[in-house]
A and B are shown apart, each in its own frame.
Chain A
Amino acid sequence: MTRTAGRTPLVELSGVSKHYGNVRALEGVSLQVHAGEVTCVLGDNGAGKSTLIKIIAGLHRHDGGTLALDGEATRLSSPREALDRGIATVHQDLAVVPLMPVWRNFFLGSEPRRGVGPFKRMDVDLMRRTTRAELLRMGIDLRDVDQPIGTLSGGERQCVAIARAVYFGAKVLVLDEPTAALGVKQSGVVLKYVAAARDRGLGVVFITHNPHHAYLVGDRFVLLKRGTMTGEHTRDEVALDELTRQMAGGAELDGLRHELRRAQDDEPRRARDAGPRRSAALPPGRG
């Protein structure tokens, strides 16, 4: 099916399902992540992208199907375990602690220490120097790593998180809509780092609802809709137009166009615009 069929994927999901009580969040989803490749997961709000991430990141356990790391079926019990297995996740909204300095954020949860017994302490010098050097390698020149990370722009924060994952030896990088809240220029910067991580041999899972961003860096594309897979392509077999059309939902789009034209004449538009941004069918726990 794919050009890399002979290799063992870093992460492989086959027929994975997840239920929250009676709500079916994910059903029969399969995907592969290979070293040095970007696997894009495309889907609208409420398609199950967040649930998928949480399973790969070890925040939730899947109910059905298999999750294999390096060909070995497993069930991740905590984010810590996922990290230890080389899966680093950069969450869209919970990537950093805004009030903490950049260097503290960079090493949060994996602080290097020196000294013995009660005098064991963080190696602050090393942490500061490393943060600065690693960000420089990613092309971010931060004069003051002591500034609160909340003072950085959204794109820069994503980049810090990516640089951190790369530094800590991640084999798989999971990015949760890294470009969703960003402008065009900032998105470009983030996509550059996605490509940089890929070129350094990491397997990248890139979650997005923007097919244009996905097509710029992606090698494989998985389309999700209401928790099920509606398509799976490699870069060779699909063109951007086709991806965009499938993503937008083809026939549905025509129906929507028709509906919107009528709506403009019949009633004020803001009645529709005032609705919730995310679908009500969203599983609980997605903040």
Chain B
Amino acid sequence: MSATTEERFLRGSSPLQRLLSRPELGSVVGAVAVFCCFALAADSFLRASSLGTVLYASSTIGIMAVPVALLMIGGEFDLSAGVLVTSSALLSSMFSYQMTANVWVGVGVSLLVTLAVGAFNGVMLARTKLPSFIITLGTFLMLTGMNLGFTKLISGTVSTRTIADMEGFDSARALFASTFTVGGVPVKVTVVWWLALVALGSWILLRTRAGNWIFAVGGNERAARAVGVPVAGTKTGLYMGVALGAWICGQHLLFSYDVVQSGEGVGNELIYIIAAVIGGCLITGGHGSAVGSAVGALLFGMTSKGIVFAEWNPDWFKFFLGAMLLLATLLNTWVRRRAEATK
């Protein structure tokens, strides 16, 4: 580095350099490539109904990918996110059924308990100072066991009873699992939830004080603490955000299938993390975006459904996912190094 300080400042950063430093760039390039690939390989991929299917698959991942991405920017993981979705659905269903209450009561109770689990993760992290990997792995295992154990104890089987004939089911279904048509494309209401969460996540990250704190606790926790950022509070808030996402996903699961299988959700936490990472979130924290996580989720949806439309063997899905993860991460790393070449 022979350039003097003054020269470096004069150069500044060009619009191209700024574009390259966007966290979601790698995932956008990947998404365009995957889209073109399936558009060529499968004629049915471009049909309106297929678009609806892809968006639906993306949205169920995307709803969780947004808060998981925010959490990752804040420097932490949540391995319990996948099973928490199932826990949340089981809770609404079983509480309403057992209490013979309006299903909205169950939905409300479920929200409180799910948020409490998120708060538990955050408080444990702040109190014990253990890695979030360990803490949420513990929560993950405990929730998996509780999902199965409580469901068998209460229902006698591994799934919940039907609640479709109960009061409030139809209105709850309209909110969490309805379908409407936009320009000939059947759109699930989860897509609206997803887009709303992406907008909310971006607003928080880019324009609020909390967003500044999220970047700071993930980028350099000690620096953040030294200037007075409430580190524990910020992280707890992030975990509760993940819990909120899990609640929305869980209610969707319940009201679209009516019954909930207690063993579901295991492994999904990794898919959320993958979507966030493909979307440009730095696994060590401090860098990333909500929009990126949405593109990551879209990539995921396109691949999982595109393989079906192209009539390829779906066994290859995981292979594509792994390859995409590696490629996107490599591209992101390369791009960031280029953008920070002045360092």
Contact indicator B222/A287 (Cβ below 8 Å): yes
Interface residues on B, range: 20 to 34
Given A108-B229, A121-B208, are A94 and B9 also a contact pair (CB < 8 Å)? no
Q: Is A61 interfacial (CB 8 A cutoff)?
A: no
Q: Scan A93-104; emit 1 where CB is below 8 A from any B CB, else 0.
A: 011111110001
Q: Scan A76-107; emit 1 where CB is below 8 A from any B CB, else 0.
A: 00111001000001010011111110001001
- The stretch of B32-40, B118-126, B209-217, B318-326 that contacts the partner chain: B209-217
Residues of B within 8 A of A141 (CB): 6, 9
Q: Is A147 interfacial (CB 8 A cutoff)?
A: yes
Given A150-B340, A151-B343, are A109 and B5 also a contact pair (CB < 8 Å)? no
Q: Is A111 interfacial (CB 8 A cutoff)?
A: yes
Contact indicator A108/B216 (Cβ below 8 Å): yes
Q: Is A7 interfacial (CB 8 A cutoff)?
A: no
Residues of A within 8 A of B286 (CB): 97-100
Residues of B within 8 A of A110 (CB): 227-228
B228 interface neighbour in A79, A98, A146, Cβ under 8 Å: A79
Q: Please name the residue on chain B nearest to A95 by beta carbon.
A: B223
Q: Is B16 interfacial (CB 8 A cutoff)?
A: no
- Main secondary structure, interface of A, reads loop
Q: Scan A119-140; emit 1 where CB is below 8 A from any B CB, else 0.
A: 0111010000000000000001
B9 interface neighbour in A99, A100, A142, Cβ under 8 Å: A142
A99 interface neighbour in B6, B226, B287, Cβ under 8 Å: B287
Q: List 21 A-B contacts (CB under 8 A).
A: A79-B228, A94-B223, A96-B223, A97-B220, A97-B286, A99-B215, A99-B287, A100-B212, A108-B212, A108-B216, A108-B224, A108-B227, A121-B207, A122-B208, A122-B212, A140-B9, A141-B9, A142-B9, A143-B9, A150-B343, A156-B5
Besides A96-B220, A121-B208, 20 other A-B contacts (C-beta < 8 A): A79-B225, A80-B228, A83-B227, A91-B226, A94-B220, A98-B286, A99-B219, A99-B282, A100-B212, A100-B215, A109-B224, A110-B228, A111-B209, A111-B212, A121-B203, A122-B208, A140-B9, A146-B13, A146-B18, A148-B21
Minimum-distance CB pairs A-B, first 9: A109-B227, A97-B219, A143-B12, A109-B228, A80-B228, A97-B220, A94-B222, A111-B209, A94-B223
